[in-house]
Amino acid sequence: MKPILVLAGGFGSRLKSVVSDVPKPLAPVCGKPFLMHLIEHLVFQGAREFVLLLYYKAELIRSMIAENIDRSNLDGVKITSIIEDRPLGTGGSIMNAINVLNINESFLVVNADTWLGGGLKQLSLSSPNSIAAVKVKDCSRYGAMVMDGKKIERFLEKESSSSDGLINAGLYHLNPGVFTGFPESSSFSLEADIFPLVVGNGMLSAIQIDTDFIDIGIPEDYFRFCRWMESGKEIEL
């Protein structure tokens, strides 16, 4: 299994009204940080190496994850981190990791605030550049993807996509070459800057995963995830 870059450097502004003392990846769920639940879930699917891409409250994230790793049975799992000296955005954060780690083969990326019930192996075996996609009843919060077979033709704006459809599920298999041309240490977005370029070249695919999905970025969905975990995943997510 390829190493996974974990995008965990954001400010989590929308969740601060209910989780104000820790950054979003550390939002408590059943007595454990969300990020720890996510790592354990990815390990269950076969992941063995993680690189946390950090900026906001980076040392707190590193120390809390280290504490939880010590309490967990994660033998053979390697977790390292890269701390950025300024906000780089999702795209800039990944490009910085490519340079720091000298990545020259395809790699996996996951958002530290999204939960996908499965699909890691499926995506890792797909051809890069690929996005995990899930079907939802209302795309208005996320923006939908317009497809031609498995190829993504374009992304629809959030406000213009209130019906059901496929959305970006926050798990990616990418080639480092798609970041060529952006200035080193610059700040830019994976979703707004990189993906449209790759779509324009006809090189971005979606791999549909039929599984549970949630983004804990807003209080309503964070509490929904907490209730789901407290139920032992018995209720509907």
**Spatial separation of the C-alpha atoms in residues 150 and 129, rounded to whole Å:** 11
Tell the burial category of 109 from Cβ atoms under 10 Å away from its Cβ (0-12, 13-18, 19+). Answer: buried
pLDDT of residue 63: 94
Domain boundaries, the chain: 4-230
pLDDT of residue 187: 96
Pick the CATH number of 4-230 from 3.90.550.10, 3.40.50.10490, 3.30.720.210, 3.30.470.20: 3.90.550.10
Which residues of the chain fall below pLDDT 50?
A: none
Give the DSSP per-residue string, 138-192. Answer: --TTT--EEEETTEEEEE--GGG--SSEEEEEEEEEE-GGGGTTSPTT----III
pLDDT of residue 167: 94
Whole-structure pTM value: 0.95
pLDDT of residue 119: 96
pLDDT of residue 75: 82
